[in-house]
Structure 1
Amino acid sequence: MQDPKFQITVDCHDPDAQARFWAAALDYELQPPPEGFATWREYWTSLGVPPDEVDDGFDAIVDRSDRGPRVWFQRVPETKSLKNRIHFDLFVGGGRAVPLGERKRRVRAKATELEAIGATVRNVMDSPEQGHFAIGMNDPEGNEFDVV
């Protein structure tokens, strides 16, 4: 049986900005337009999508190793209004085999890197008695994710 392929779709106001943020956060790359098209705008309008519904720039990212899912950023008019029902966890600490102090250092370093490109810290989850440390963050449009 073939492994299922899937795409994660994120509603947002600015697909290009979100694609660039998440490409950096996940170490993905911006997905180039299909062969034969110079831009995504050219591609989408060739399929009959009205030009006023097409953004300039990129709207999707892909895993450099082709193992992870494609992430597509879909422009919508409304803003995020409630807590996410699904979110990303970025595992950068190395897991429980890594000493807690080192995991904290790695998580803080990644959070600092993400703040530099537009993320904000929502909360810090520090439970040394449980051996857990994570930083809750928001992407530039307020979507929640955790760095663990």
Structure 2
Amino acid sequence: MTTKWTLTIDCADPGLVARFWCTALGYTEADPPKGWDTWEAWFTDLNVPEDEWNDGAAISDPDGVLPSISFLKVPEPRTAKNRLHLDLQVAGGRSEPQALREQRIRTTATTLQSAGATLVQEVHTDNTLDHLWMQDPEGNDFCVV
């Protein structure tokens, strides 16, 4: 039997990072708990101080198929390269023409840079673009493949 799982990303600004990953993955902000129309109403009804409202955030696949992702506010900054990262598989695989693969990778990277991502390195194999190593607005690594 498999185990249901989610992914949690530690960060300084959960709302900012969650919005970025919504753009990157096509996810949406997670719905508030049943019985509340908004997260603000939930926070208010549970007497959560307003300065704690951005201590966490969550996003989900609008189709309900892929795992949800949570973002947790932590006080310490990232200090080393991620040991785990996401690969955004946008190119269509090696069976696609290289020019089309590269166009898809670069188009996605441009969109993500507009949303706050940074390009770290272009990775080439046999003189062709294989993938881009990038970072989200808080420096969390990911690749566009």
TM-score by length of 1: 0.87
For residue 59 of structure 1, give the secondary structure of its aligned residue in structure 2: strand
Q: Distance in 2 between matches of 1:40 and 1:8?
A: 20
How many residues end up aligned between the 2 structures? 145
Per-residue deviation at 1:77?
0.6
Q: Distance in 2 between matches of 1:40 and 1:99?
A: 45
Render the CA deviation track for 1:18-45: whole Å, top value 9, x for unaligned: 1110011001111121122244355357
Per-residue deviation at 1:58?
7.0
Unaligned runs of 5+ in 2: none
Aligned to 1:145: 142
User: In the TM superposition, what are the counterparts of 1:64-143 in structure 2 within 5 Å?
Assistant: 64-128=62-126, 133-143=130-140
TM-score by length of 2: 0.88
For residue 123 of structure 2, give the secondary structure of its aligned residue in structure 1: strand
Q: Distance in 2 between matches of 1:121 and 1:108?
A: 11
Q: Distance in 1 between matches of 2:81 and 2:130?
A: 21
1:28 counterpart letter in structure 2: Y
CA 16–83 in structure 1, closer or farther in 2 if over 3 Å, else same: same
Q: Distance in 2 between matches of 1:15 and 1:56?
A: 6
Aligned to 2:49: 51
For residue 18 of structure 2, give the secondary structure of its aligned residue in structure 1: helix
Aligned to 1:19: 18
Q: Distance in 2 between matches of 1:36 and 1:68?
A: 24
Unaligned runs of 5+ in 1: none
Cα-Cα RMSD = 2.3
Q: Distance in 2 between matches of 1:9 and 1:31?
A: 13
Per-residue deviation at 1:96?
1.2
Q: Distance in 1 between matches of 2:89 and 2:64?
A: 18
2:28 counterpart letter in structure 1: E
